[in-house]
Amino acid sequence: MSSSPLRADSTSCSYKKSKLIIVSMSESPQVLVQRPPTFDFMDELLSRNFPILTTHHTSSAPLLNSLSRQASSSIRVVVNMAMLKLDADLLSHLPSLQLLVCTSVGTEHIDLAECKRRGIAVTNAGEAFSEDVADCAVGLLISVLRKIPAADRYVRSGKWVKFGEFQLGIKLSGKRVGILGLGSIGSLIAKRLEPFGCIISYNSTSQKQSIPYQYYPDALGKKGVIINVGRGGLIDEKEMKEPGVPEELFGLDNVVLSPHAAMATPGSLKNIAQLTLANLKAFFSNQPLISPVRLD
């Protein structure tokens, strides 16, 4: 292992439990996986197919310390995980980069303009997380309306025995639900809410054809309950900067708080690992990428 071109940053990183860094010295790795130390769930799958290097760096100086010049110049693909920042400066130290496989749906942490300028192709998570995120959105919606976490706290704290009946919840069936963004996730949420008798409307960059739901070109109304299964930044990022949560919310029973976990199931991890591998295989065999991001 000491001959590997990857040197883990000793300040925060431990690879003890990881099974990766299977580096064949006869062939310089062409795939760099940029991931937090604990995000090792796809290392085994990927390294069974390609030699990989890993790094958790998001700026060039430590990256250069961890990779030899030879290693960094051989990298043709970066697999970017957990939305670690990847800017033009860092990209400049990967002169052979042709493909950036991003394991998130959002790409705002990537300098896409620089990728476009350099002709680096980009892929994202596509629909790998859509089912889990849609499931979670429905779960959060019912949880907040029917106060499921607050009710659970009520029972666990012994208040049910002490004070009797819990407060009433709010009925979901038949409610008006507005969905901001009717893409893969939004459509699955709509489909799931139909048998609840919910009246579904949506807002999107443009009105979609052959969609049975009412389209609203501007806002969907100011009252009611908000479920955010998009990224934290879609709300007011200053107010809701992950993982910092305003403490005022902690006392509220009509608020359900969740970590960034709407896609956090083994099923989604398996999906994204397989999609990543499929994109890599497509790239190395000159086939069309599976989940390309349009760079315009």
Catalytic annotation present for 27: no
Among 88, 155, 199, 235, binds a second copy (CB under 8 A): 155
Yes or no: say if 198 and 172 are a contact pair by the CB < 8 Å rule: yes
What secondary structure letter does DSSP report for 284?
H
- List, in sequence order, the alpha helices (H) in the chain: 43-49, 60-66, 69-74, 88-92, 112-118, 130-145, 148-156, 159-163, 184-193, 266-284
Looking only at Cα atoms, what is the longest distance across the chain? 71
Among 64, 264, 282, 289, binds a second copy (CB under 8 A): 264
Question: Quick one: 43 or 135, whose CB is closer to a second copy?
Answer: 135
128 binds a second copy (CB under 8 A): no
In 3D, which of 89, 115, 93 has the Cα closest to residue 102?
115
11 binds a second copy (CB under 8 A): no
225 binds a second copy (CB under 8 A): no
225, with CB counted inside 10 A (0-12, 13-18, 19+), is middle
241 binds a second copy (CB under 8 A): no
219 binds a second copy (CB under 8 A): no
151 binds a second copy (CB under 8 A): yes
Question: Quick one: 188 or 293, whose CB is closer to a second copy?
Answer: 188
240 binds a second copy (CB under 8 A): no
Closest separation between CB of residue 268 and a second copy, Å?
7
In 3D, which of 278, 280, 281, 266 has the Cα closest to residue 129?
266
Question: Quick one: 221 or 259, whose CB is closer to a second copy?
Answer: 259
DSSP structure string for 145-183: HTTHHHHHHHHHTTHHHHH-SPPP----TT-EEEEE--S
- Structure-token pair, residue 221: 């109304």
Catalytic annotation present for 35: no
Closest separation between CB of residue 260 and a second copy, Å?
8
Among 27, 152, 237, 239, binds a second copy (CB under 8 A): 152
Catalytic annotation present for 242: yes
Q: Which stretch binds a second copy (CB under 8 A): 53-61, 118-126, 215-223, 243-251?
A: 243-251
What secondary structure letter does DSSP report for 40?
-
Among 46, 256, 275, 290, binds a second copy (CB under 8 A): 256
Distance of alpha carbon 48 from alpha carbon 144, whole angstroms = 43
Q: How many residues does the chain have?
A: 296
* Residues in region 165-184 near a second copy by CB under 8 A: 165-174
Instruction: Give catalytic residue positions.
Output: 231, 242, 260
Residues that bind a second copy (CB under 8 A): 38, 131-132, 134-136, 138-140, 142-143, 145-146, 148-149, 151-156, 160-161, 164-174, 188, 191-192, 194-197, 243-245, 250, 256-261, 264-269
